[in-house]
Structure 1
Amino acid sequence: MKNSWSAKIPRPVSAEAKAAVRAHLGELKTAVLHQLNTSLPWFRELPANQRSSLGEIAQQGLTTFADWFEHSESTVKASASGVLHSVFGNAPSELSRTVSLQQAVQLLRTVLQVVETQVPAIVAEPDKAAARYAVVFYSREIAFALAEVYARAAETRGSWDTRLEALLLDSILAGDRADEIRSRAAATGWKATHGITVMVGQPDQLEEPQLVAKLREIATRANLEILIGVLSDRLVIVLGAVRDVESDTKTIQRGFGDGPIVYGRIVDTLVDATISAQEALEGFSAAPAWPNAPRPVSASDLLPERALNGDQVARSALTRQIYRPLSRAGNSLLETVDVYTTTGGSLEATARQLFIHANTVRYRLKRVAELTGWDPTTPRDAYVLQVALMTGRLDTVLNPPEP
Structure 2
Amino acid sequence: MGALGTAAVARMERRLSWFRTMSAEDRSWVGLVAQSGVAAFVDWFKNANRGRPAITVEVFGTAPRELTRSVSLQQTVEMIRIMIEVVENQVDGLAAPGGEQQLREAVLRYTREVAFSSARVYARAAEARGAWDARLEALIVDALLHGDREEGLHTWGSALGWSRTPVLAIAGQVAEGEGDAMLDEVRALARRAGHDVLAGTQGERVVVVIGLGEQHGSDPMAAAAPLAGLFGAGPVVVGPPVPDLPSAGRSAGAAISGLRAAPAWPDAPRPVSAEDLLPERALDGDPAARRRLVEDVYRPLRRAGSPLLDTLAVYLEHAASLEATARMLFVHPNTVRYRLGRIADLTGFAPADGRGSFVLRVAMALGRLAERDGPAPG
Give the TM-score taking structure 2 as reference length: 0.94
Q: Do residues 93 (structure 1) and 69 (structure 2) align?
A: no
Match of 1:249 among 193, 216, 224: 224
Residue equivalent to 2:295:
320
Residue equivalent to 1:221:
192
Identify the range of structure 1 (91-100 vs 325-334) with the bigger mean alpha-carbon deviation.
Answer: 91-100
Q: How does 1:4-403 map to 2 (within 5 A)?
A: 25-71=1-47, 73-75=48-50, 77-79=51-53, 82-91=54-63, 93-194=65-166, 196-205=167-176, 207-241=178-212, 242-401=217-376
Contact 1:120 1:131 in 2 (8 A): no
Give SS of 2:200's match.
strand
In the alignment, the residues of structure 2 paired with residue 315 and residue 123 of structure 1 have an alpha-carbon distance, to the nearest angstrom, of 85
In the alignment, the residues of structure 1 paired with residue 255 and residue 3 of structure 2 have an alpha-carbon distance, to the nearest angstrom, of 67
**Identity between Structure 1 and Structure 2 (%):** 46
In the alignment, the residues of structure 2 paired with residue 29 and residue 276 of structure 1 have an alpha-carbon distance, to the nearest angstrom, of 56
In the alignment, the residues of structure 1 paired with residue 128 and residue 377 of structure 2 have an alpha-carbon distance, to the nearest angstrom, of 61
Give SS of 1:239's match.
strand
Give SS of 2:152's match.
helix
Contact 1:261 1:284 in 2 (8 A): yes
Contact 2:183 2:199 in 1 (8 A): yes
Give the TM-score taking structure 1 as reference length: 0.88
TM-aligned CA deviation for residue 92 of structure 1 = 5.9
Aligned residues between the structures: 374
Identify the range of structure 1 (239-248 vs 153-162) with the bigger mean alpha-carbon deviation.
Answer: 239-248
Contact 1:92 1:153 in 2 (8 A): no
- Which runs of no fewer than 5 residues in structure 1 stay unpaired? 1-24
In the alignment, the residues of structure 1 paired with residue 80 and residue 115 of structure 2 have an alpha-carbon distance, to the nearest angstrom, of 8
Give SS of 1:267's match.
coil
Q: Which has the larger radius of gyration?
A: 1
In the alignment, the residues of structure 2 paired with residue 128 and residue 107 of structure 1 have an alpha-carbon distance, to the nearest angstrom, of 23
TM-aligned CA deviation for residue 177 of structure 1 = 4.5
- Which runs of no fewer than 5 residues in structure 2 stay unpaired? none
